[in-house]
Amino acid sequence: MKLIFVNRYYAPDHSATSQLLTDLATALTAEFQVHVVTSRQRYDDPAASLPRYELDHLVSIDRVYATAFGRASLPGRALDYLSFCVSAALRLYRLARRGDVIIAKTDPPLISVPAGWVARLRGAHLVNWLQDVFPEIAAELGLPIGRGIVGRALHRIRNTSLHHAATNVALGSRMADRVAAAGVPRERIRVIANWADGMSLRPTVAAENPLRVEWGLVNKFVVGYSGNFGRVHDFQTMIDAAEALRTQSEIVFLLIGAGAQLPQLEIAARDRRLTNLVFKPYQPRSRLSQSLGVADVHVVSLRTEFEGLVVPSKFYGIAAAGRPTIFIGDENGEIGAIVRETASGLCVAPGDAKGLADAIEALRVDPTAREGMGRNARRAFELRFDKSIAMAAWRSLLHAVEQKSV
């Protein structure tokens, strides 16, 4: 039995979905023949042209053609999605055989639809690995494609791919509820959280981090944000808090990553003359432990309307690094509940810039509380979110699907 993953990005790309897929595909090679169908691009470099075929850590990688307009415009992005879906479906059809398992992630959105068609034609099993829930996300963003006649049509074809899948993997209980609300039986829904690698990400002393010297952060209290600056996240609260704290020269906001909202943040920082904001690009995975460890506390945010549609996976790396989280979002949501239940940080309502500034100041002046939250975060991570736990859950799931082929 072959496992065939399909997702637009894979190693050496360093986006979150790529890293997670690379971890899982590599870990499964000891028990399965593993293929990955992906694009020739990188998340932050659409012009990149990676090799068409590669064997990496026993994973066979097929990189198919797709247009490369990038993320700057929605029409261009739609063409990138469509061209990849067509190319990927053709490749899947050539690769898949009866009894194989096609694991479809959600980049691009609705890749589960052509993957499901191929699975039925070839007698393969489909597993949907839901990193987000589309077209609900498009509807909440106010995009026409998520509403009206088009939105209803997309819901129907998406729901068909969920109903016919052997299993749908959701990232948390609230996402599982969303999938169940689409009429998918609970027995076809499995919750497996995303993860971080607790062997490579370990708690370190922030003051001893060499990046503090390299980035000019010595003797600063660093508030970190690391990852995708996507449309589902709330950054206005953080910008307003940074402005409220601008006179406290020892507090610095370190923003690492890329995404749709990054240009707006850079413009806001320039227009408001916020010298307490420092921007850095995505760091290589080899430096992830240092880049996460350089902060004293991290911010994670999610607009409340996207609860159950997205789960910010950056939280797991923060917890692995033993740092507290200030979550901007629904305190009863997926990440908010974890933060509260494990006492690994604080929660702030979206728009409450004063509350965020106060939370930052409270953690700055109380290192004992801060360190305790960091320890709690690492403890919760080791019990629930380490890579080894997720790999075991995935192996169990895929062996169960395999038994259906016998």
Among residues 29, 9, 30, the alpha carbon closest in space to that of 20 is found at: 9
What is the pLDDT at residue 39? 96
What is the pLDDT at residue 74? 74
**Cα distances (angstroms) measured from residue 356 to each of 52, 228, 399:** 47, 20, 45
Among residues 223, 231, 292, 234, the alpha carbon closest in space to that of 259 is found at: 231
What is the pLDDT at residue 285? 86
* pLDDT, tens digit (0-9, with 9 covering 90-100), for 356-405: 999 999 999 999 999 999 999 999 999 999 999 999 999 999 999 988 76
What is the pLDDT at residue 15? 85
Residue spans of the domains in the chain: they are 2-195+386-403, 206-384
Find out whether the peptide bond into 12 is cis, omega within 30 degrees of 0: yes
Among residues 234, 241, 222, 219, the alpha carbon closest in space to that of 356 is found at: 241
What is the pLDDT at residue 151? 93
Two tokens, residue 364? 């700055």
Q: Where are the alpha helices (DSSP H) in 197-312?
A: 210-214, 236-244, 262-271, 288-293
* pLDDT, tens digit (0-9, with 9 covering 90-100), for 326-339: 999 999 999 999 99
pLDDT tens digit at each of 406 positions of the chain? 899 999 999 999 988 899 999 999 999 999 999 999 999 998 878 788 899 999 999 999 999 999 988 776 778 888 999 999 999 999 999 999 999 999 999 999 999 999 999 999 999 999 999 999 999 999 999 998 899 999 999 999 999 999 999 999 999 999 999 999 999 999 999 999 999 999 999 999 988 999 999 999 999 999 999 999 999 999 999 999 999 999 999 999 999 998 889 999 999 999 999 999 999 998 988 899 999 999 999 999 999 999 999 999 999 999 999 999 999 999 999 999 999 999 999 999 999 999 999 999 999 999 999 999 999 999 999 999 999 999 999 999 999 998 876 4
- Do the domains 2-195+386-403 and 206-384 sit in the same CATH topology, yes or no? yes
- DSSP character at residue 45: B
Q: 206-384, which class in CATH? A: alpha beta
- DSSP character at residue 249: T
Q: What's the pTM value of the predicted model, to 2 decimals?
A: 0.94
**Cα distances (angstroms) measured from residue 31 to each of 192, 204, 209, 386:** 19, 34, 38, 20
What is the pLDDT at residue 406? 47
CATH code for the part of the protein at 2-195+386-403 = 3.40.50.2000
